[in-house]
Amino acid sequence: MEIKIFGPGCARCHELEKRVRHAVDELGVAAEIEKISDLKDMAASGIMNTPGLAIDGRVKSSGRIPSLDEIKKWIRGET
């Protein structure tokens, strides 16, 4: 599984990364977590507001910090 976190490195971006890592650990899944801070890469991925989150190439959220439960659902492929 490939998870990308988009953002310039602000506190909200760090909080999203923390939640993503927590969800991955709790679910026990193998995932490659990558942080993207380049504005061109963000725009190319469809992220216009940060923080952003994409799982396996699909943008799941942009401009907000999703809850831990939301992140777990997305990792499990439920939505």
Cα–Cα dist 27/1, whole Å: 12
8 A C-beta contact, residue 26 and residue 72:
yes
Kind and range of the H or E element at 20? helix 11-27
Active site (catalytic) residues: 10, 13
8 A C-beta contact, residue 13 and residue 7:
yes
